[in-house]
Chain A
Amino acid sequence: MARPKPVAQDRGRGLGRRKFLTFLVAAPTLTVAAKWGLDGFAPATAVPSLPSLADVGDLGDALIIGIKPTSHLMVLEITEDNRMRFELPRVEVGQGITTSMAMIVAEELDARLGDVDIQLSDSRPELQFNQFTAASTGVRVLWEPVRQMAADARARLVAAAAKRWDVPAGQLTTRDSHVWAPDGRSLSYGSLSADAREESAAGAEPKESSEFKVIGKPTTRLDAYNIVTGKALYTMDLPIEGALPTVVARPPTIKGTVASVDDQEAKAMPGVVAVTRIPSGIAVSAETFYDALRARDALKITWHAGPNDNLSDSDIRSQLKGTVEPLAAPKVRDSYLDVTFDFAFVNHAPMEVENAIAHVRDGKADVWMPSQAPIYAQQTIAEAVGLPEEAVRVHVNRAGGSFGRKLFLDAGLEAARVSRVIGRPVKLMWTRQDDMKHGRMRPRSHHTIRASYTAGEVMSFEHRMAGVVVDFTHGLGEALTSNTDDPNEFPSAIYFNMSQANPYNLGLAQQSMKDLILKIPTGSWRSVYSGVMRTAEEVVMDELAERMGEDAITFRKRMVKANSGKAVLAKAAEAANWGRGMPSGHAQGVGYHSEYRSHVACIVELDASDHPHVTKAVLVADVGQVVNPRGLEAQMLGSTMDGIATALRAGVHIDNGAVRESSYGDFLWTKHHDAKFEFEFHSISTTWEPGGAGELAVPAVCAAVANAYARATGTRPRSFPISF
C-alpha cells in the first residue's frame, strides 16, 4: 500500500521500511532473532553511540537507528508446547507495551494472541540502546524488527510443514498457531519448531497494513485478569525466599547526611535483624515492614544539613529568572506580547513507591526491580557493591506506574548496598513520605515568551526557558552525549533540542533552555520539557489569536505546519462542538501538541465557578498505525488526568531545602471527584508507521485546561498549578 507523502512536520513519518534479516539462535526449538542489515552476522561494534542529531528528527528516530546493530539479540522462541515466547527488552509500567507486542507477534506469526507469552527481559548490556523504556518510543522502535522476527519465524514454520507433508509451501496457510494444508490437515507451530530451525526464511516480509487482523483491533490488556484478581505481582509481592523487609531513615531536608546515630534501642526491638548505614541514611531490616518501620522511628539520628537548606521556592524562582536567556527579538510597536510563566516542581508519585529486592552474595548479585534502564542499573549496582558487571543480574519486574520515575535505581542501589553488608536478601521499600520528600520531581521552570505580530501574521515567537536541571544520569543521558563534539554539553540540552520544536509557522521562531544546577532530585516526567514548554506556548497561542481577532482553532489550523495537525484540530472542533454556548463561569479551551511523529488536539470544558473542574474532555490523535486502539485510549485518558492535575492543583513546594508535601493528602493529584467528566477520544486512522503515544497528550490537555480557565475567569494563568 502506498504511504502518504510527508508534508512539513509530517516529514520523517513513514520512513521507508527498514530491512531486517534474521538468523537462528542455537536452541532445540525455533528461536529467531532479528538482524538488521545485509552485512552478515558480525557482532555489534564495541563503542555504542547514537546517530548524531543532524541525521535524525528526535530520540525515537535515533533509537530506531541506534538499535539496529543489536536487534538480532532479541529473542522470539516457538516452544514445543506451542507457545510463542518473546523476551521484551522493555518494562511494563501500565502503558500496555506487553499487550501491544503480543499483538504484533500474533499478527505476523498468525498465532492466537492467547498463545503468545511476553516475558520482560533481564538486563542485557549487549542490547545497548535496545533496553530503554523511555520517550514514548516502545512500539515505534520495536515495530519493524519484531514484525520481521515473527514474519521470518512464520516462513520457517511453513517451510518445515511443506517438507513434512511434501506440499509446496505456497499452498499452505497459517492461522491459529498452526500451519494448514489445502486438505484441512494442520500442524501446530510447536510440533514444527524443531524442524523449522533447518529452514530458510528467505523473502519473508511483514504484512501490509491492509492484511492486519490483530493489529488495530481494540484488545483488552493481557494482564487484565491478573490485575483484577491480585495475581499481578509487583516487586514487593515477589516470593524471594528470606528477603528482609527494609526501610531507610532519611534526613529532614533533601540530601542531608547522617552525623551520628544511636541504634541501640532500635536494634533491641522485636523482629529487627540489622541496622545498616548507607549513603542516603540508616537502613533497618526486620522480619516485617511493621517491625522495620517501628525500629526506624526509634533510631536516634543527628543529621548534617543538606545542600539546599537555604533554598525555598521563591529563591529558586529568583535564580531561574537570573538564569533564563534574555529576550532578544525586536518588539513590533504595540503588536507584541511579553509574558512569563512559572511551573512548580511535580513529584512523579506512582502508586507503587520506590522499591527493589537485592541479594548480594558469593561474588554475585541478583536485583529485582521495576526499571526503565536496567543495563544502567546493572552497571551502577556492580560498581557500588564492587562486583564485575557480569556478576550482577537485574530482573526487570512490572512497575506500579512510573511516569519517568523508574528510569532511576534509587531503591535498587540502596537494597544492593544493604544486602552486601548484611549478607541476606533485602526487600527495600521507600515509604510514601520518603518518595514525596526525597523522590524525584519534574523540575521547577521559568519561561519568558515574546511574540510579535502584524497584519494577521506572527512575525516572531521567542521562548526562553530556565529550569532546575533534569537528571539524565540513567544511561540514556550518557548515550545522548556519546556522539557530541562538546564534552561539556549536558544531555539535558541535547534532549531539549531533540524534543522541542514549535509546531506552528510563527515567523522567526526561537527557543532555548538554560539549566540551573541545584542538588535537588529531578528526573524526566511524562512528556519531559514539552509538559511545560508547550503548555506555555499554547496559552500564548490563544492570546495571539485573541489579539488578532481570530478564533483559537481557526488560528491554530492556519498556523500549524503539519496537515495531520490541521486534521486533529478540525476533528476536535467538530466532535466537541467548539464554540457552543457555555453558562457563566464555564468555558471551552483548546490545546494542541505534536511530538514523537504524532499529533493530538484536546478540547476541554471547564466549570471554574467553584473548585475548577473539567466537565468534558475530547481528544483527537493521529499516532500513525495504531496497534491497540483500546490501549491508545487508555494512554489518552491517563494523559488527560495528568494534564488536569498539573494545570490545576498538583505541585510540590520547597521550604528551606525540604519538600513541604508528604503524601497524597497534600500533594493534590486527581481523584475520582476530578474525573466526573465525559471523556471522548477519536483516533484519526492513518497508516504511517506508529508514532509515540504514551506521553503525547499531557501538554495538549494541560494547555486546554489553562485556556479554558482563562476564558471562564478572564484571568490568564501564568503560574502552574493554578491553585498552589
Chain B
Amino acid sequence: MQRKFKFFVNGERVEVDGDGDMPLLWALRDKLGITGPKYGCGSGICRACTCHLDGEEVQTCQVPLSECRNKRVTTIEGLADGDQLHPVQQAWIDADVGQCGFCQPGQIMTAVALLERTSEPSDADIAAIENMCRCGTYVRIREAIKAAAAGDVGTPDDPPDNDKPDKPGKPDNPGKSQDRGKGGKPDVGEPEESVEEPSEPDDSVIGGIGSSVG
C-alpha cells in the first residue's frame, strides 16, 4: 500500500511515497538519491548500510519506512559539518583506512555511534563491531577509532600534498575538529534550522508511485 512518509534526512525534511515495509535503505538510495549507505547483504549482517536513526545506529536494510516517521536519519553524507569533517572521518583519513572503501560509510557510522555510547572504547568494544570489511582493514579501523577517541585527529605535520583531497574547494586543513571534544556527541542528525514537526497525519494513503519533497 502506498503511503506518504515524512522524516528528516541529514537535516532536510523529506517525504517519500512508498509502502511501509520498504526498507529505509531503498528509500534513501532509490527514492532520495542518497547513495552513501550501501547494499551489501540485505539482511543486516554486513552492515554496509549502517546509518543513524534519531542518533542510534541502525541497519537501514532492516528498518521499514513505517518506523521512520518524523525521525531523524543521518547518513554518511550528513556526518560532516559542511566542510568540517567529523573527527571520526578525519581519523579514517589519518589512518588511511579505506581500501575499496565500500563498507567504510557503514563502518564510520558504526564507529561514531560507538563513540557516543563509549567515549573510550576498549579493544573488546571494537572487536565486537559487526561490520564486515572484505578488504580486511580492521586493524586500521581500530587505530582510527582509538585516535578519534583520544582526540588525536588531523595531520598538521604532513606536507600539504599528502592528504590533498580530490574534492575541489576542501579547506587545507580539514582535521582541525578537536574542538568537538573528545569522543563527544557531535552535532549530527539535527536539522540545520529549526523545522516544524509535521503536524498533519502522515499516513495518508496515496495512489501511484513517486515521491514529493515537502
Enumerate chain A interface residues (CB-CB to B < 8 A): 93-96, 106, 112-114, 117, 214, 219-234, 236-237, 239, 245, 270-271, 287-290, 293, 349-353, 398-403, 429, 431-433, 630, 634, 637-642, 663-665, 669-677, 679
Contacts and interface: CB of A to CB of B under 8 A. Distances in A.
Contacts of A630: 96
A289 B104 contact: no
Interface in B90-144: 90, 92-94, 96-105, 108, 123, 126-142
B47 to A, nearest CB: 9
Contacts, number: 219
Contacts of B48: 351
Contact of B98 (A221, A349, A674): A221
Contact of A637 (B128, B129, B130, B139): B139
Contact of B165 (A225, A670, A671): A225
Residue from A230, A234, A353, A402 with most neighbouring chain B CB atoms (10 Å): A230
Nearest to A676: B127
A192 to B, nearest CB: 21
Given A228-B92, A351-B134, A663 B128 contact: no
B164 A223 contact: no
Of the four ranges (under 10, 10 to 19, 20 to 34, 35 or more), the interface on chain B belongs to 35 or more
B138 A672 contact: yes
B96 A400 contact: no
15 contacts: A94-B99, A220-B94, A227-B101, A290-B27, A353-B39, A400-B100, A433-B42, A634-B96, A634-B137, A637-B139, A638-B137, A640-B136, A669-B132, A669-B134, A672-B138
Nearest to B40: A351
Contacts of B162: 113, 219-220
Closest 5 CB pairs of A and B: A641-B136, A230-B36, A400-B102, A94-B100, A114-B164
Contacts of B93: 220, 224-225, 228
Contacts of B38: 234, 351-352, 400
B30 interface: yes
A429 B39 contact: yes
A94 B35 contact: no
Given A114-B161, A220-B96, A637-B140, A675 B127 contact: yes
Contacts of A114: 160-161, 164-165
A234 B167 CA distance: 16
Nearest to B22: A290
Nearest to B75: A230
A669 B40 CA distance: 14
Given A270-B2, A669-B132, A223 B209 contact: no
Nearest to B129: A672
A113 B94 CA distance: 17
B173 interface: no
A95 B100 CA distance: 7
A678 B34 CA distance: 37
Interface in B132-173: 132-142, 158, 160-167, 170
A130 to B, nearest CB: 23
A401 B102 contact: yes
Contacts of B90: 228
Nearest to A429: B39
A670 B138 contact: yes
A112 B108 CA distance: 30
Nearest to A232: B101
Contacts of B39: 236, 289, 353, 429
Nearest to B34: A230
A224 B136 contact: no
B89 interface: yes
Contact of A672 (B35, B127, B135): B127
Nearest to B161: A113
A287 B105 CA distance: 25
A18 to B, nearest CB: 29
A542 to B, nearest CB: 25
A233 B33 CA distance: 12
Given A94-B100, A230-B35, A220 B163 contact: yes
A722 to B, nearest CB: 19
Given A351-B133, A400-B38, A224 B30 contact: no
Contacts of A231: 167
B53 to A, nearest CB: 17
A638 B135 contact: yes
Contacts of A352: 38, 40, 100, 102
B45 interface: yes
Given A288-B30, A672-B129, A228 B22 contact: no
Given A349-B134, A669-B134, A670-B136, A664 B80 contact: no
Contacts of B135: 94, 351, 401, 638, 641
A224 B163 contact: yes
A634 B94 CA distance: 13
Contacts of B141: 672
Given A239-B33, A634-B140, A676-B123, 14 more contacts: A220-B94, A220-B96, A223-B101, A224-B92, A224-B98, A225-B174, A351-B46, A352-B40, A664-B45, A665-B43, A665-B45, A672-B128, A674-B138, A675-B127
